[in-house]
Amino acid sequence: MAEIVTLNQSDFNEAISGDKPILVDFWAEWCGPCKVIAPVLEEIAEEHDGFTIGKLNVDHNPDAAAAHDVMSIPTLILFEDGVEKKRIVGAAPKHRLLQELAEYTT
């Protein structure tokens, strides 16, 4: 079971540079597609342990979103050792997310 963590401006860089890959969900409360993808990410977290899932509210943490060129939400970015490895823009069905993240799912 993967951990889901809430990220903010002060812990973001440390989180993406950790030992374990992290999939960051850049989202906002007013975003309909973000609400659609949230339970999908919870399911993935329950079923897989290859990475952590982090949630970053772009309204509360605009600098982190801007630093990674997040132009639309939801945007999911998988970081490994502080480096972006995968980017998924928009709400995607679970099977597509799992395809994109296959090398990290265990």
Q: Which residues belong to the active site?
A: 31, 34
- Cβ–Cβ < 8 Å for 52, 21: yes
Residue 14: C-alpha distances to residues 9, 19, 79, 83, 106 (Å) = 10, 10, 11, 12, 23
Omega before residue 74 within 30° of 0, cis:
yes
